[in-house]
Amino acid sequence: KDEKDDLAREVERKLDKGYPRDNIIFQAPERAILYQSGARIFDDNITRPEALVSVVNQFFDYKAPHIQEWEEAVRDFSERIPELATAVTKTIDAEKKRNPAFVRSFEDFYALCKQAINPNLSEEAVERMLVQHLLTERIFRKIFDNPDFTRRNVVAAEIEKVIAELTKRSLNRDDFLRNLERFYRAIERSAEETTNFSEKQAFLNKVYERFFQGYSPKEADTDGIVYTPQPIVNFMVRSVEEILQKEFGRSLGDKGVHILDPFVGTGNFIVRMMQEIKTTDLPYKYENELHCNEVMLLPYYIASMNIEHAYFDRVGEYKPFPGICLVDTFELAEAEQSSLGFMNAENAERVKRQKASPIFVIIGNPPYNANQQNEDDNNKNRKYQVLDRRIAETYAKDSEASNRNSLSDPYVKAIRWASDRIGEQGIVAFITNRSFADAKAFDAVRQHLATDFSLIYHLNLKGDARTTGEMRRRQAGNVFDDGIRVGVGVTLFVRRSAPRKEAAEIHIAEVDDYLTSQQKRV
C-alpha cells in the first residue's frame, strides 16, 4: 500500500476477503504488519533497520505448528527406534524357539526373499524387513489415505502373514506401537495439512530418510538414502522425450515405448515420466508399459504408494501398479533365476512380464556402491555369473589398465546390464559416478560404449570432493549436496537400429567451475 492508505484498515479488509493468516506480511512504505498462526505478531515502523531485519527473519523462520510438532516427534522417534527395533528382534528370536507356526511362516518368507532378492541373504536381513514393516506400515496407509495397502500390495501381504503369526501370542501390535502414537499422530496431522501430491511425495521420502537415520544409521549411509534432486530428474526425463522425438519420431506416451527404471528407489523417475504422458494415454501405459524394480523393502513400499497415488491424482481411479517388482535387477540377467519364486506368484508374474517386454527406455540412478544392492552387510561382494562374465569379456578383457577393481562397481554393472537389456534401438539415461568418462581404469568401458551406441551425450556436473586445492574449488558443489563425495554426471546413450559402421557420435558438456550445488541444480 502507498503512504495515503491506512494499512491497518486495508489489512482488515484483506483478511475479511479470506487472505491467509498463517504467515503473511502486509507492507506500506514505512510500516509492516505480520500475521502468523492467525495472530498479529508484528506491527512496527520498518524505517529502522533492526525492525526491518526482525520482521523479515520472523517471516522466513516461521514454521507451522504441525511442522514443529512433526520435527519434535521425529527427534524422539529417531531416539526410540533402536530400542523398539531391538524389542521386536528379541520377540522374533523368542518365537523361533517356541512357536512352530511362526517358524514355518518365517522360513517360508525367508525362502521367498532369498529367491527374489539374493540367495545368500541372511536371516538377520529378513528380520530387519519385518521390523521395518511393523514400524512403518501405518505411515504408508495414512499419508496417502490407503487403508488397504497391506492387502493390495503383493509384498506387504506376504509380510503381513508372518507378522500375524508373530503377534498372535507374544506381541500385541497395538500395545507395542502405542509408544509411537505421538510420532504417528504428528505425521498424520502433517499429512492432513499437506494436500499437494508432490509435497506428500517429498514428505514420505523424508519420513523414510529419518526412519533409517534412527533405525540404522549405517544403512542410511551405505544404502544411499540420497534422492536424485528433482531438477536433475526433470532434466533427464525431458532430455529422453526430446531424443525420442528427434531420433525416433516417438514420444514417452506412445504405445510400444516400454520404460524401465531398474533401481526405482522411491519412484521419482516413474512419477515424473507419468507427468509427461497425456492423461488419455496414461491408463494403457500404467497397465502395460511402465516397469521398475527395487531390492529394498521400504523404498519398494514408498515407490508403490507414490506411483499409485500419482495415477489416482491424474485419472481419478485407484489401481495397484502392476509394473513394480521386488527383485534384484542384476539377478534378472542370470539364466537360473527363471525358476525362482520371486516372493509370490504375482511378483513372479510381474518379473516374467517385464523380462518379456521390449524395453525402449531405461532411466534412473544406479547404486554407487555394493552395499546399495542388498540389506545384508555380509554380502558386499555379490557375484552375478552372467553379468560378471559380460564385464570380464568386454570391459576387463580390452582394458590396458593395470588396476581394474573399479570395474566391479555397481554403476559399471548397471551400464553393462542396460547396454545388453535394450534392444536394437532405444535410450539409456543414467546419473552416475562420472569416473567412467575419463579415468584410466575405464578405457575399455568407453571403447565399448562407443561401439554399443550410436550417439552419446554426457553432462559433467563435477562436485568431486576427493580432489584438493584449486581443483577442489573448481569442482565445487555436488548436486547431491553432501550425500556423496564422487563427481557425478548425466549420460544419455542412444542406440539407432541402423548398422553402426563407425564409433558413436559423442557430445560432452560441463557446468561452469565454482558453482554451488544449488546453482548446478537450477
**Are 98 and 184 members of one domain?**
yes
Q: Which stretch of DSSP H or E encloses residue 214?
A: helix 197-215
Asked whether residue 100 falls in the same domain as residue 182, the answer is: yes
Average pLDDT over residues 163-190: 76
Assess contact for 266 and 144: CB atoms under 8 A: no
Cβ-based neighbours of 291, under 8 Å, separated by 6 or more: 258, 259, 260, 261, 323, 324, 325, 354, 357, 359
328 vs 386: CA distance, rounded Å? 14
pLDDT of 416 higher than 90: yes
What is the per-residue pLDDT for 472?
87
- Note whether 76 and 47 are same-domain residues: no
Residues 3-31 pLDDT 10s: 556 888 888 888 888 888 888 998 888 88
Residues 412 and 418: their CA atoms lie apart, in Å, by 10
pLDDT tens-digit profile of 184-235? Answer: 777 777 767 766 666 666 666 666 666 665 666 555 544 445 678 889 999 9
Residue 185 inside a domain? The answer is yes
Residue 483: band (very low, low, confident or very high) from pLDDT cuts 50, 70, 90: low
In degrees to the nearest 10, what's the CA dihedral of 183, 187, 190, 194?
170
> How far apart are the C-alpha atoms of 139 and 302, rounded to whole Å?
10
Instruction: Report the alpha-carbon distance of residue 257 to residue 250 in Å, rounded.
Output: 8
73-82 average pLDDT score: 70
Q: pLDDT band for position 338 (50/70/90)?
A: very low
Residue 364, domain member (yes or no): no
Instruction: Tell me the whole-structure pTM to 2 decimals.
Output: 0.78
Contact status, residue 297 vs residue 258, Cβ threshold 8 Å: no
> Longest Cα pair distance anywhere in the chain, in angstroms?
83
Alpha carbons 293 and 296: distance in angstroms, whole number: 10
Mean pLDDT of 438-462: 92
Domain boundary among 217, 238, 267: 217
> How many Cβ atoms are within 10 Å of 124's Cβ, its own excluded?
12
Query: What is the DSSP code string of 134-203?
Result: HHHHHHHHHHTT-TTHHHHSHHHHHHHHHHHHHHHHT--HHHHHGGGHHHHHHHHHHHHH--SHHHHHHH
- Is 154 a residue whose pLDDT tops 90? no
User: In the predicted model, what is the mean pLDDT of the chain?
Assistant: 83
- Classify residue 394: in a domain, yes or no: no
Residue 205 shares a structural domain with residue 130: yes
Question: Does residue 49 sit in the same domain as residue 148?
Answer: no
| Residue 409 falls inside a structural domain | no
Q: Which three cell numbers stand for residue 29?
A: 512504505
Q: Are residues 47 and 188 in the same domain?
A: no
Would you say residue 119 lies in a domain?
yes
- Across 7-11, 65-69, 129-133, least confident range: 65-69
CA dist 414 and 437 (Å) reads 15
**What pLDDT digit, counting tens, does each position of 344-397 carry?**
678 888 998 999 999 999 999 998 654 333 434 443 457 888 999 999 999 999
| CA 323/CA 422 separation, integer angstroms | 17
12-21, 84-93, 111-120, 399-408: least confidently modelled range = 111-120
- Number of structural domains (the chain) is 2
Task: Please state, in angstroms and rounded to a whole number, the distance separating the CA atoms of residues 261 and 271.
Answer: 11
One domain for residues 173 and 47: no
Answer yes or no: is 274 within a domain. Answer: no
Residue 283: inside a domain: no
Residue 157 located in a structural domain: yes
3-state secondary structure of 400: coil
Element holding 111 (H helix, E strand):
helix 100-116
Residue 402's pLDDT is 76
Q: Strand pairing of 39-45 and 505-510?
A: unpaired
Which of residues 200, 217, 234 is at a domain's end?
Answer: 217
Confidence of residue 244 (pLDDT cuts 50, 70, 90): very high
298's torsion region: left (phi>0), alpha (psi -120 to 50) or beta? alpha
SS3 call for 63: coil
84 and 184 fall within a common domain: yes
* Radius of gyration for the chain, computed over Cα atoms and rounded to the nearest angstrom: 26
Same domain assignment for residues 158 and 20:
no
Residue 317 gets the label, from left (phi > 0), alpha (psi -120 to 50) or beta, of beta
Q: Are residues 54 and 79 in the same domain?
A: no
Q: Are strands 31-36 and 39-45 parallel, antiparallel or unpaired?
A: antiparallel
Residue 53 belongs to what domain range?
Answer: 7-61
Domain finish residue from 175, 192, 217 = 217
The confidence score (pLDDT) of residue 477 equals 84
Of 301, 330, 254, 284, nearest to 129 by C-alpha is 301
Burial of residue 509 (CB within 10 Å: 0-12, 13-18, 19+) is exposed
Among candidates 407, 400, 456, 394, which has minimal Cα distance to 433? 407
Tell me which residue of 297, 318, 296, 252 sits closest to 307, measured CA to CA. Answer: 318
Identify whether residues 206 and 149 lie together within a single domain: yes
Please report the pLDDT score of residue 370 as a whole number.
44
| Top-ranked range on mean pLDDT: pick from 89-103, 256-270, 435-449, 474-488 | 256-270
pLDDT grade, residue 311 (50/70/90)? very high
Question: Distance between CA 199 and CA 189 in Å, rounded?
Answer: 14
192 and 100 within one domain: yes
